[in-house]
Amino acid sequence: MLKHLYDTDCVTWSPQGKLFQVEYAMEAVKQGSICLGLKSSENVVLCSLKRQPSELAGYQEKQFKIDDHMAIAIAGLTADARVLCKYMRTECLEYKYTYESHHPVGRLVFKVAEKSQHKTQSGAKRPYGVGLLVAGIDPNGVHLFETCPSGNYYEYKCQAIGSRSQAARTYFESWFHLFEKSTLEQLVLHGLSAIKKAIMEDEELNEKNVEVGILGKNLKFTHLNAQELKDYIAKLEGFNPNSQIQQE
Amino acid sequence: MYIPVNEVQKHFKSETPMMSNITHKSDQWSPYHDNSGTVLAIGIPGAVLVAGDTRLSNGYNILTRDATKLSQLTDKCVLATAGQYADFIALRKFLQQRLQLYEFQNEVQASTQTVAHLLSRELYSRRFFPYYTFNLLAGLDENNHGVVYGYDAIGSYDQMTYGVQGSGQELVVAVLDNQLKGYNKINKTFPQTQQEILDLILDCFSCAAERDIHTGDNVEILIITPTGTERIVKPLRKD
């Protein structure tokens, strides 16, 4: 993105009706490594590619459990994500304490969006530089939401954010009509296939740099462990979405 | 000259309180209700067994025959409470919330020792309007040995190998002293297997149900081991 006039702070509009600071914040999300989510009628799966700052370092975690029924995957500034994660966890705990039930997903996403919007309308603040994919299950059904630094939020059947996410979205556009009736295993394989489209040629998917989280109507949020990841990645070779169509 | 009725007292020989002088304010409202019942816990190497009857009472009335006094707080520890049920629920909710926050912040479940101390501090935080709860915290320690912590209403606690709380406490703890420690026992033989301890627990509750009106209906037993939790429910006298 090129430099613009009228971009010094959030309280200045551009003549074209844009808030450039907010747009720049969304750029931070696009620079983060890819994470994606997809849902069926029973399950939601989050897949992300973990970045390693150097060979000596560990891999940056991208998925966080909010409550048994909800989890997020992040793209952008991890520090900002931590703040939002803590906020969401606290809200869920308080809701559970008061109402003895799980926080409705859409309501919590709305609270996060409201918090994010607040940061876009003040001279002394900056927007959060992180986009979240919120996966959750509540009595209203299975949900996947995306939140933006702008304070907007959208519900999706499947979505990818972060760098080279367009490749994953293109994969989704071809195959998302199968997701509704997919089994959990098929969903994970679709997710990993989509991630595979988005990695660089010299990179490879392995159990260290990919993170998969699963959530189901009767399944609390869990990360797949290293062995399970290895097995799924091995299954990717023989995975053919076309065979899923023939089953139906 | 007559003695006014309200001055009769002054004309008695002694001013010491006698039964006839004592007036009871029997209709004073109390924030506390004793829902009674009995709980016990026994720790052995490799497991801990926690049991509680399922009767809730209020005075001479039974509120329900089907209420649990046990609450699993982490994979490794269980809270067993006798006393006021509302305070048990409030305490349990607080601990569940606080322990989930602990898990988020530390990425691991709290150890039994940590939960024990947390419970003590929470109880003492209400030193001047206590939780009317008599607690046992039973769990596996870092070496997977069964441990039991017993509490009073304001959080004083100590580690024990077995503990009993509630209306049947005196009846049951004497039996356990005899069977598990060998106090006042001539032929000292002790239960060796988990099944023998389980039978002992069932016997204790049956005994308590015989003599204590507030204990009965069912006994619920949780067996915590490193591999998981098993739950057993057995009937007791319903009268």
Could you report the predicted ipTM of this complex, rounded to two decimals?
0.83
Number of domains in chain B: 1
Q: Residue B130's pLDDT is what?
A: 97
| B13 domain-assigned | no
Q: Is the pLDDT of residue B66 over 70?
A: yes
| B95 domain-assigned | yes
Residue A11 touches chain B, beta carbons under 8 Å: no
| A40 domain-assigned | yes
d(C-alpha A97, C-alpha A102), whole Å: 10
| B62 domain-assigned | yes
Identity of the residue numbered A101: S
The distance of A44 to chain B (nearest Cα, Å) reads: 21
Given pLDDT bands bounded at 50, 70 and 90, which one contains residue A67? Answer: very high
| B19 domain-assigned | no
d(C-alpha A40, C-alpha A186), whole Å: 10
Beta bridge partners of A45: A38, A214
| B232 domain-assigned | yes
- In a 13 Å sphere around the CA of A210, the CA atoms on its Cβ side amount to 29
Q: Residue A69's pLDDT is what?
A: 97
Number of domains in chain A: 1
Residue A93 touches chain B, beta carbons under 8 Å: yes
Q: Residue A59's pLDDT is what?
A: 93
Q: Residue A157 is part of a domain; what is its CATH number?
A: 3.60.20.10
Q: Is the pLDDT of residue A156 over 60?
A: yes
Residues comprising chain A, all counted:
248
pLDDT above 90 as % of chain B: 84
Q: Are B186 and B155 in contact (CB under 8 A)?
A: no
| B25 domain-assigned | no
| B5 domain-assigned | no
| B20 domain-assigned | no
Element (H, E) at A122: none
Residue with tokens 């209700």: B33
Range of the domain at B51: 35-236
Q: Residue B15's pLDDT is what?
A: 56
Residue B101 touches chain A, beta carbons under 8 Å: yes
In order, the DSSP letters of B87-130 are HHHHHHHHHHHHHHHHHHHHSSPPPHHHHHHHHHHHHHHTTTS-
Beta bridge partners of B47: B44
Q: Residue B171 is part of a domain; what is its CATH number?
A: 3.60.20.10
- In a 13 Å sphere around the CA of B157, the CA atoms on its Cβ side amount to 27
Q: Residue B22's pLDDT is what?
A: 57
- The pair of three-digit structure tokens given for residue B100, joined into one six-digit string: 């989930």
Strand order across the beta sheet in which A63-67 lies: A63-67, A70-76, A130-138, A141-147, A153-155
Among A69, A88, A89, A220, which would you mutate to test the B interface (most chain B Cβ atoms within 10 Å of its Cβ)?
Answer: A89
Range of the domain at A42: 31-50+59-240
**Cβ-count burial A112-125 (b if 16+ within 10 Å, e if not):** bbebbbebbeeeee
Average pLDDT over residues A25-53: 95
| A38 domain-assigned | yes
Residue B97 touches chain A, beta carbons under 8 Å: yes
In order, the DSSP letters of A73-116 are EEEE-HHHHHHHHHHHHHHHHHHHHHHSSPPPHHHHHHHHHHHH
pLDDT above 90 as % of chain A: 87
pTM of the model: 0.86
